[in-house]
Chain A
């Protein structure tokens, strides 16, 4: 790891001033940043440790019925907050399906949004990567790419965003609260992450010094609590990134879908909100046939970026499964293996 200056500002404005200097990086939980620094993928000259900044580790109910989650709330603390898990069960399930218990105890809300892709060529400094080194080319395009993007990719970059947490968040219209040199501003999570285009190194809406201070959920987000799931296909039982995942949330009244939310993970450089699928569902009968139509709409623009055509069909099926599961009702208790599409018989192995 290269040498760096370490500063631990006492206030948010001091942190922003320090991080606005070129070569700076914020440190919170550090679970992704230290990994990247050890591998030489990122080499900041200055670490701005924000892990003790006051006021960023609270979960606050807002007067308008919404929720404000401080950027430094740890993933485990958020998922195990009983009121949070009851109001937003698919978000809690997504959080607990990601990483390991140790990592969830350290990783923060803000850091989860900012985690980098796990594309193996991004991680391998001997490989060409436009995200790591703009203009270098993309080794993933002709390489091992069965897990890469099927939506929103470009010839410059076919990497995916690895977050589980962001998938139900984007479905529920989450908003990112950002503080920067010019004050505070709100950016929807749907607009926060960028598609690669010709500039895959620009991954989000942050400018130098900008600090995520909170993530907000609007009041309506809690209206889906009774019929919502997050499902995730992994290549091993636990502690793995999504091959594909889906967050589904419904409001069903007398068999008709009154409101629908759908987002996909593991398919693009950002958490993928499937608005065209939501439009198919709205007002329709809550039936498997309509869920299949919605899945087709969600993946209508998908195309393989390599040896990953299977992910398009897999994504369709996981969308249908997530919608069916949401319709059946949010489980009383979080399943033993969160987000698993396999059976969950209490006490039995997940694949029994």
Chain B
């Protein structure tokens, strides 16, 4: 099969690429662009380790063909911090022990960014748990993860209020 030309904006950088149509967004990120922060867990949409934001929405990059997302704007874990300054969600995961081995963490953080942007969960821990049910943590750090999401959400809301004032 011949390769097809596509353009993707990834973490603010524009990439012009030739891809085999079988290549998933996940494999493109990891194997072609060396963005290995996005993890390959199950590769079947069941674990959430590969979660990225595409045009602002969280999806499983393992179930997305790169060619089908030609022109998309992709945010991966590598694009979340500002230089050395962690994003409030990243800092909250550290502060609340929202992980043990760390393999699922990039997906958890990208999924949290999606959850907060969707604005459906509010500060209800049960809604947060439900909203993150597509991200599995085999170390079972769920308690810390929910605390981290609640904390980060409050911090971001305070920042928003300051910015608005």
Check if A and B associate: yes
Choose from A3, A35, A38, A238 the contact partner of B130 (Cβ within 8 Å): A238
User: Chain B residues in contact with chain A, CB under 8 A?
Assistant: 1, 4, 21-22, 24, 43-45, 48, 51, 57-60, 62-65, 67-68, 111, 114-115, 118, 120, 124-127, 129-135
Residues of B contacting A: mostly: mixed
User: Do the beta carbons of B130 and A106 come within 8 Å of each other?
Assistant: no
Nearest-neighbor residue (CB-CB) of B52 within chain A: A102
| Cβ contacts A to B, 5 pairs, < 8 Å | A5-B21, A30-B68, A102-B58, A239-B133, A350-B126
Asked whether B134 lies within 8 Å of A30 as measured between CB atoms, the reply is: no
**Contact between A35 and B22, CB atoms less than 8 A apart:** no
Using an 8 Å CB-CB cutoff, how does the interface string of A333-349 with B read, 1 for contact, 0 for none?
A: 00011100000001111
* A272 CB, nearest partner CB in chain B, Å: 26
Partner of B126, one of A5, A239, A336: A336
Interface pair B64/A30, CB less than 8 Å apart: yes
Return the contact of B63 from the options A3, A4, A35 (Cβ within 8 A): A35
Classify the secondary structure of A's interface with B: loop
Closest B residue to A29 by CB, please name it: B63
Q: A100-B48, A100-B134, A337-B130 are in contact. Are A347 and B58 (CB under 8 A)?
A: no
**A49 CA to B118 CA in the complex, in Å?**
27
User: Does A102 lie within 8 Å of B60, measured CB to CB?
Assistant: yes
**A49 nearest in chain B by CB position:** B68
Neighbour of B44 across the interface among A6, A35, A348, CB < 8 A: A35
Contact of B134 among A51, A101, A346 (CB under 8 A): A101
**Which 4 pairs of residues, A with B, have the shortest CB-CB distance?**
A100-B134, A6-B21, A238-B133, A336-B126
With A337-B126, A347-B124: A5-B48 Cβ-Cβ less than 8 Å: no
In the bound complex, do residue B114 and residue A348 qualify as a contact, i.e. CB atoms below 8 Å apart?
A: no
Is A250 positioned at the interface, with any CB of B under 8 Å from its CB?
no
